C-alpha cells in the first residue's frame, strides 16, 4: 500500500481548491514537482461550502453528515491521454465500497454513482501534465452518507441513511474506499487496466436497453454501445447509427 498523509479540515470552500493551492509554490504560481508530496495526500473536510462537481455544478452537503474529500496522487506512469483510467479506478472503488451497504449500486458515465435512479456520489478529477505523462492528479469525491434532507435543486439525490434506514460511520466508509482505491491503483501500476475496465462496464448504469438522452439536437432514445478506453461514450440510436460523445455533449434523461 502507498502511504497516505491526511489533512482534516473543519470547514473549507472546496477540498479540490485547497489541494490546488497546496500545489502552488508560494509567490511563483508554478506547480510543485511530483516528489514534493510523495505517496497519497488526503484532504477531508467536515464542511465543504462550495463543493464543485462535473460541468460546473455544485455539490450540496450538510455539515458533519457526508464524506467530502480530495485525494492527491502522482501517477507519472500514466500517459496524459489515458487520464480516464484514474476516473474508472475511483468509480469502481466507490461502487464496490457502497455495495457493501446497499444493493443496486452502479456507475453512471462518466463517474457518478447511482443507486437505482438516484445519485449518491460524484467525482471531479483534475490532472496536471508533465510532458506526455500525468504529474499530479486531484480526485475530489462527495458521497452522501447520513444526510436525509436535500435543499438544492438537484433532481435525484439520495444517501446511505435514506437507503438503509440507519446512520453509518463515515470513517468506516472512507477506510474501505481507500483500501479499494489503492487496490485498483496498484493494478494500474502493474498494467492490468482490463481488470478495472471490466469492473467498470459490469456495473455501468443503463448498460442494457434503450433509454432517453439529450444532445444539441434534442431528446432521443439510444443504448450504450461502448465506453471507449479514452472515456468517450458511444450511443447506438434506434436506427442503428452510433454517435460518439465527449463529456458535456450528452445528457441522461430520466425514463
Rounded to an integer, the average pLDDT of 32-56 is 71
List, for residues 216-247, the tens digit of each pLDDT value.
999 999 999 999 999 999 999 999 999 999 98
User: Are 16 and 122 contacting, i.e. CB atoms less than 8 angstroms apart?
Assistant: no
User: Residue 101: its pLDDT value, please?
Assistant: 98
**Inter-axis angle of helices 84-98 and 170-189, nearest 10:** 140
Q: What is the pLDDT confidence band of residue 57, given thresholds at 50, 70 and 90?
A: low
Q: Whose CA is closest to 234, among 203, 201, 188, 202? A: 201
Q: For residue 35, which phi and psi values (nearest 5 degrees)?
A: -80, -10
Burial string for 150-164 (b: 16+ CB within 10 Å, else e) reads beeeeeebbbbbbbe
pLDDT at 53: 53
In this structure, how many other beta carbons lie within 10 angstroms of the beta carbon of residue 209? 9
pLDDT band at 26 (very low <50, low <70, confident <90, very high): very low
How many Cβ atoms are within 10 Å of 244's Cβ, its own excluded?
A: 14
Q: Say if residue 46's pLDDT is above 50.
A: yes
pLDDT at residue 36 in the model: 52
In this structure, of 45-54, 86-95, 146-155, 201-210, the range with the lowest mean pLDDT score is 45-54
Instruction: Give the chain's largest Cα–Cα span.
Output: 57
Domains and CATH numbers, the chain: 4-202 (3.30.930.10), 211-252 (2.30.30)
Write the Ramachandran bin of 56: left for phi over 0, alpha for psi from -120 to 50, otherwise beta.
left
Q: Taking 70 as the threshold, does the pLDDT of residue 205 lie above it?
A: yes
pLDDT of residue 170: 98
Query: Residue 127 pLDDT > 60, yes or no?
Result: yes
33 has a pLDDT exceeding 50: no
Amino acid at each position: 500500500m502507498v502511504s497516505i498523509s491526511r489533512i482534516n479540515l473543519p470547514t473549507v470552500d472546496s477540498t479540490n481548491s485547497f489541494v490546488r493551492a497546496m500545489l502552488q509554490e508560494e509567490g511563483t504560481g508554478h506547480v510543485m514537482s511530483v516528489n514534493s508530496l510523495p505517496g497519497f495526500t488526503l484532504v477531508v473536510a467536515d464542511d465543504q461550502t462550495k463543493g464543485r462537481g462535473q460541468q460546473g455544478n455544485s455539490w450540496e452537503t450538510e455539515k458533519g453528515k457526508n464524506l467530502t474529500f480530495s485525494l492527491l496522487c502522482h501517477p507519472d506512469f500514466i500517459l496524459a491521454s489515458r487520464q480516464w483510467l484514474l476516473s474508472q479506478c475511483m468509480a469502481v472503488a466507490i461502487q464496490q465500497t457502497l455495495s457493501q451497504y446497499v444493493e443496486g449500486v452502479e456507475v453512471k458515465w462518466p463517474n457518478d454513482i447511482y443507486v437505482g435512479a438516484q445519485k449518491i456520489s460524484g467525482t471531479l478529477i483534475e490532472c496536471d501534465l508533465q510532458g506526455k505523462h500525468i504529474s499530479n492528479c486531484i480526485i475530489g469525491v462527495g458521497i452522501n452518507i447520513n444526510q436525509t434532507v436535500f435543499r438544492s435543486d438537484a433532481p435525484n439525490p439520495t444517501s446511505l441513511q435514506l437507503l438503509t434506514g440507519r446512520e453509518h460511520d463515515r470513517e468506516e466508509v472512507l477506510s474501505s474506499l481507500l483500501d479499494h482505491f489503492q487496490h485498483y491503483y496498484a493494478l494500474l501500476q502493474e498494467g492490468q487496466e482490463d481488470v478495472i475496465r471490466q469492473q467498470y462496464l459490469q456495473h455501468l448504469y443503463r448498460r442494457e436497453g434503450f433509454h432517453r438522452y439529450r444532445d444539441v439536437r434534442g431528446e432521443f432514445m439510444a443504448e450504450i454501445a461502448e465506453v471507449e478506453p479514452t472515456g468517450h461514450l458511444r450511443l447506438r440510436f434506434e436506427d442503428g447509427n452510433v454517435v460518439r460523445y465527449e463529456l458535456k455533449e450528452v445528457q441522461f434523461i430520466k425514463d
